[in-house]
Amino acid sequence: MLFTELPLCDSLLEGLQAMNFTETTPIQEQAIPVILDKKDVIAVAQTGTGKTAAFLLPLLNNLQTEKHELNKVNAIIMEPTRELAQQVDQQMEGFSYFTPFSSVAVYGGNDSDAWDIQKRGLLKGAEVVISTPGRLLSHINLYKIDFSGVKYFILDEADRMLDMGFYDDIMKIANLLPKDRQTIMFSATMPPKIQELAKTILRNPKEITIAVTRPPETIMQTAYVCYEPQKLEIVKQLFKEKKPNKVILFSGSKQKVKDISKTLKRMGLSAGEMHSDLDQAQREHVMHEFRNERIDILVATDIVARGIDIDDISLVINFDVPYDVEDYVHRIGRTARGGDSGMAITFISPQEQYRFSLIEKFLQKVIYKIPVPIELGATPEYNPEREKKNNKKQGNKGKRKMSMGSKSDKKLSNKKQKDPDNKPHKLRSRSNEN
């Protein structure tokens, strides 16, 4: 479907034409008409399917065509990370270029000027607020913000926000907004926590599901079956002869990202790291250096990676096998963008074999396993079903050990539960993650 076939106002169509947006993606085709009708929506679609335009365009259209209160916040868009908030703010700037609407991006950082800009936008009524939950609550806790004009509440990457512990923060914000509003939720997956949230804050929502699409054939997918200690050695071998250029290496934890980055630097490679411990200025500096090819390898976690939007990535390395098919597709989708070709390599340790077999099942093909260089030693056999049983046995063994704790251990455990310094508590605001 063409954007010109949608009932969008002329100023938006003019902006789309200027940005060379012509054809809709499936999520845009299905979601935009429903949102234009001002119905609540819960949409399941993976990252990279055009979700941002799917909610920004109808939001801007409705603000343009209906009466709304001046000098008041009219819409709030929640994002899990500052990178995504920035990305949505940039797209908002493009789509709204020919409209009179103002927006403010509200996310964490140590810049006092940025805080003042955010404060002015919230108090003087920027029509659209694009924010991370923790940062918005920080403003709310310091002064009174008038949310009485909010007609639209949009939760983007809702599953990521809940994974990061933002459920309570989202509910606090939702309870401050008018009940009579349109609520829109986008999520890559639909776990029970998302269903619970949807029942709580949405009213008779229209459900839209876009199946996870397989990666394009232009991505050459390969893998190494190896032991965990061999992974770094393979990286060294990969770049021994040829200097890397625009490579992203994904790892599952920020500590691993830090360790891998240090090792790569000791190897004489130009590496940068992206994880939630970096402040905003540090992240922007790393991205600037990577874009300008002064950093050759970017080592990143999945959470931060959602904000990476660079077209000419030559190679993606999955240092760890991701837990979800969506994460695998998202990771390797950083390469081969805009019709270009690209490469993706995944390292598979014995414990990760079954997870990778599920990815192969989804892809409906067997990924070619590159032989590990013989000088790196013996390698494990690729037998996912056997490793699945081994993992299950190890899990049961661990449970038995836990259940066999001594009476003194149990007493100590009970004592810790009563100790106010160790008592369990509800999820708190994770402003350091945004």
In angstroms, the CA 13 to CA 17 distance is: 6
Kindly give the parts of the chain with pLDDT less than 50.
398-434
pLDDT value of position 47? 63
User: What backbone torsions phi and psi does residue 431 show, to the nearest 5 degrees?
Assistant: -65, -20
**How is residue 428 written in tokens?**
């708190």
pLDDT value of position 427? 31
pLDDT value of position 408? 38
pLDDT value of position 156? 93
The distance of Cα 367 from the centroid of its chain, to the nearest Å, equals: 25
pLDDT value of position 29? 93
pLDDT value of position 423? 32
Domains of the chain and any CATH numbers: 3-209 (3.40.50.300), 219-385 (3.40.50.300)
pLDDT value of position 202? 94
Q: Say which DSSP state 23 is in.
A: B
pLDDT value of position 40? 96
User: What backbone torsions phi and psi does residue 75 show, to the nearest 5 degrees?
Assistant: -145, 145
pLDDT value of position 331? 86
pTM for this model (two decimals): 0.61
pLDDT value of position 391? 64
Residue appearing with tokens 């063994």: 397
| Cα dist from 248 to 7, 94, 237, whole Å | 40, 27, 16
